[in-house]
């Protein structure tokens, strides 16, 4: 080979055709504004941590986060009012994000949940003042070893972990993208973006820090394990379809793919890759949802994490993860429903029964609520199985109703305290109704909503989900759902009886007087619970308008 010929292997003559221009991607910034606002605010929050003096950080962060979440919610409402939820629903950002009814509905829910969670994050009157400084539920300095001198010094200096606010915003941003992701890569990145801040938030409790760190390690290791499964599932689905786009995969599943280049035609369409990949991907999502066999992390993490974080995690993660699961099963894999429906039947049944039965034996209020959240994941799965438009809208409604009840219930848990911080052991809640009738009554409302008693949002949600499931041909599932609701009602009512009909113990806990922040959070929970219970029709209509995915 001559020198010139070798040279031409890696160079090109200047006279040859110019390299074709690469088209810049077209991004619809307006339609992505909810997530962009939240991400932007989170980045500003990081800068605040770096440059604003420590004294004023708390106020700056609270203001920034509240404004950002409210602005993002306003953007969602504006998009929905503009018709992006119904007639103008389409796929934005070069096929990466779907802007449609379910995603706008879930984004709105997540933003409101985030805003209320922000109020509980910012609460500074529950813990007694440390050296004249008001403190919140988060560690003075997360890096200081619990009980060490450096921790005492940090407490004395009045440090607070204001980093929780940007972390909350990052988690919310990931959750906004998760249910609207329209390709598997975006799905995975969004999953990690909302998971990583949650792992950190779990480790930041002010009291019981060893438990908090333990919860974070468990959540992190199991969460990373589950996301590795998710990723391998994505790899196999990519191997199956030759693309990670939802639309292409669903076309390949249905066998209606229009144009395939020859190189791809030989390698795609292997059913083993499809089935194993789907199983692994769904496994990862069911882990986030907290469905039985993948629920082991839930009670430990819910118990160990700081209670405001638990409330946020319990409410918002479920909304985001069920949104993604719905989109995956309804948009990507409807052609595979004869394969996934039986599996989901099984998962729903053991989740409902397992959560309800194990909850009976619990003695810690946070663990009890954790198992109740597992049972609720089972009820929502019953709606997912319906594979109908009603199934989607009932799940959307249930998620909205459930998330506010959960936030409110965990906010009440932060109020009941003794010398060691929150008094979460059930025996300490005995006679709470005699000491603080209002707090006990509010908690009873939330428990009745969890149990699904009429005139609360829990009843409307359960009714919608079970109706959709029965119409979708899952009558046995509904029967089991009603039975496990009855089992679950037993332990909710038991807590109510404990609060109102037993003698208060002399060394029992006190109920702290919260600032307007937590009061607002709890009041919002009660209002939404009662409004969705007494007059659910408007919101059911809203959910049913929003119940159509874009492909």
Partner 1 sequence: MNPVNYLYLAALLFTIGATGVLIRRNAIVVFMCIELMLNACNLAFVTFSRMHGNLDGQVIAFFTMVVAAAEVVVGLAIIVSLFRSRHSASVDDASLMKL
Binding site for partner 1 (CB under 8 A): 142-143, 145-147, 185, 188-189, 192, 196, 199-200, 203, 209-211, 213-218, 220-221, 224-225, 228-229, 231-232, 234-236, 238-239, 242-244, 261, 263-264, 267-268, 299-300, 303-304, 361
| Closest among 394, 366, 220, 233 to 306, alpha carbons compared | 366
Minimum CB–partner distance for residue 275 and partner 1 (Å): 15
Minimum CB–partner distance for residue 174 and partner 1 (Å): 12
Under DSSP, is residue 418 helix (H, G, I), strand (E, B) or coil?
Answer: strand
Minimum CB–partner distance for residue 423 and partner 1 (Å): 16
First to last CA, the chain: 53
Nearer Cβ to partner 1 (185/489): 185
Q: Are 104 and 79 in contact (CB under 8 A)?
A: yes
Question: What whole-number distance in Å separates Cα of residue 550 and Cα of residue 543?
Answer: 15
Q: Are 548 and 100 in contact (CB under 8 A)?
A: yes
Minimum CB–partner distance for residue 355 and partner 1 (Å): 14
Minimum CB–partner distance for residue 20 and partner 1 (Å): 16
Question: What whole-number distance in Å separates Cα of residue 401 and Cα of residue 459?
Answer: 10
| Closest among 32, 165, 164 to 97, alpha carbons compared | 32
Contacts 24+ apart (CB under 8 A), 355-360: 355/292, 355/295, 355/484, 355/488, 356/484, 356/485, 356/487, 356/488, 356/491, 357/484, 357/487, 359/488, 359/491, 360/487, 360/490, 360/491
How many C-alpha atoms does 491 have within 13 Å on its Cβ side? 23
CA-to-CA separations, 474 to 36, 213, 480, 485, 522, in angstroms, rounded? 40, 42, 10, 16, 36
3 state SS for 276-307: HHHHHHHHHHHHHHCCCCCCCHHHHHHHHCCH
Nearer Cβ to partner 1 (40/146): 146
Nearer Cβ to partner 1 (224/483): 224
Q: Are 75 and 33 in contact (CB under 8 A)?
A: yes
Nearer Cβ to partner 1 (370/480): 370
Q: Percentages helix, strand, coil for the chain, rounded to the nearest 5?
A: 70, 5, 25
Q: Which residues contact 459 (CB under 8 A, 6 or more apart)?
A: 449, 452, 453, 533
**Backbone phi, then psi, for 326, in 5-degree steps?**
-60, -50
Nearer Cβ to partner 1 (139/474): 139
Nearer Cβ to partner 1 (218/467): 218
Cα-to-chain-centroid distance, residue 512: 28
- DSSP label of 134: -
Minimum CB–partner distance for residue 93 and partner 1 (Å): 15
Minimum CB–partner distance for residue 151 and partner 1 (Å): 10
Minimum CB–partner distance for residue 171 and partner 1 (Å): 12
Nearer Cβ to partner 1 (211/336): 211
Nearer Cβ to partner 1 (121/199): 199
Minimum CB–partner distance for residue 307 and partner 1 (Å): 14
Nearer Cβ to partner 1 (28/192): 192
Nearer Cβ to partner 1 (237/352): 237
Minimum CB–partner distance for residue 362 and partner 1 (Å): 8
Nearer Cβ to partner 1 (42/440): 42
Minimum CB–partner distance for residue 280 and partner 1 (Å): 10
Q: Which residues contact 284 (CB under 8 A, 6 or more apart)?
A: 191, 226, 227, 229, 230, 233
| Closest among 449, 456, 438, 458 to 514, alpha carbons compared | 438
């Amino acid at each position: 080979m001559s020198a010139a010929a070798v040279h031409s292997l890696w160079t090109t003559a200047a006279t040859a055709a110019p390299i074709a221009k690469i088209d810049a991607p077209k991004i619809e910034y307006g339609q992505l504004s909810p997530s962009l606002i939240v991400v932007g605010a989170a980045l500003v929050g990081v800068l605040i941590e770096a440059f604003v003096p420590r004294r004023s950080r708390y106020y700056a962060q609270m203001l920034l986060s509240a404004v950002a979440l409210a602005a993002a919610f306003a953007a969602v409402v504006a998009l929905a009012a503009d018709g992006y939820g119904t007639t103008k629903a389409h796929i934005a950002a070069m096929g990466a994000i779907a802007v449609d009814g379910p995603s706008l509905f879930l984004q709105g829910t997540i933003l409101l949940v985030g805003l209320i969670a922000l109020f509980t994050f910012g609460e500074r009157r529950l813990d007694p003042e440390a050296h004249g400084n008001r403190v919140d539920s988060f560690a003075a300095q997360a890096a200081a070893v619990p009980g060490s001198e450096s921790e005492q010094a940090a407490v004395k200096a009045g440090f607070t972990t204001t980093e929780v606010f940007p972390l909350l915003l990052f988690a919310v941003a990931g959750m906004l993208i998760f249910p609207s992701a329209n390709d598997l890569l975006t799905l995975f990145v969004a999953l990690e973006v909302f998971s990583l801040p949650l792992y950190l938030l779990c480790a930041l409790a002010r009291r019981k820090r060893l438990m908090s760190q333990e919860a974070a390690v468990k959540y992190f290791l199991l969460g990373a394990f589950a996301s590795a499964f998710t990723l391998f599932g994505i790899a196999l689905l990519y191997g199956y379809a030759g693309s990670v786009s939802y639309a292409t995969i669903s076309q390949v599943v249905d066998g209606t793919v229009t144009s395939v280049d020859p190189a791809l035609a030989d390698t795609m369409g292997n059913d083993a890759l499809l089935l194993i990949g789907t199983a692994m991907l769904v496994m990862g999502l069911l882990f986030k949802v907290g469905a039985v066999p993948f629920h082991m992390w839930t009670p430990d993490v819910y118990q160990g994490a700081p209670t405001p974080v638990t409330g946020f995690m319990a409410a918002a993660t479920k909304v985001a993860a069920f949104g993604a699961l719905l989109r995956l099963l309804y948009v990507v894999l409807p052609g595979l429903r004869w394969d996934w429906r039986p599996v989901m039947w099984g998962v729903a049944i053991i989740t409902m029964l397992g959560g309800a039965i194990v909850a009976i034996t619990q003695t810690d209020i946070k663990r009890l609520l954790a198992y109740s959240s597992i049972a609720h994941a089972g009820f929502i799965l019953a709606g997912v199985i319906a594979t109908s438009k009603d199934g989607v809208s009932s799940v959307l409604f249930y998620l909205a109703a459930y998330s506010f009840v959960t936030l409110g219930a965990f906010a009440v848990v932060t109020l009941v305290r003794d010398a060691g911080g929150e008094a979460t052991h059930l025996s300490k809640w005995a006679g709470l109704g005699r000491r603080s009738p209002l707090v006990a009554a509010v908690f009873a409302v939330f428990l009745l909503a969890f149990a699904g008693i009429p005139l609360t949002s829990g009843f409307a949600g359960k009714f919608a989900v079970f109706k959709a499931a029965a119409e979708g041909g899952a009558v046995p599932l509904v029967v089991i759902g009603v039975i496990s609701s009855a089992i679950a009602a037993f332990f909710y009512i038991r807590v109510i009886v404990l609060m109102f009909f037993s003698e208060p113990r002399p060394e029992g806990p006190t109920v702290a007087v919260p600032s307007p922040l937590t009061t607002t959070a709890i009041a919002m929970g009660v209002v939404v619970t009662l409004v969705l219970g007494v007059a659910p029709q408007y919101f059911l209509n809203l959910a049913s308008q929003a119940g159509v995915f874009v492909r």
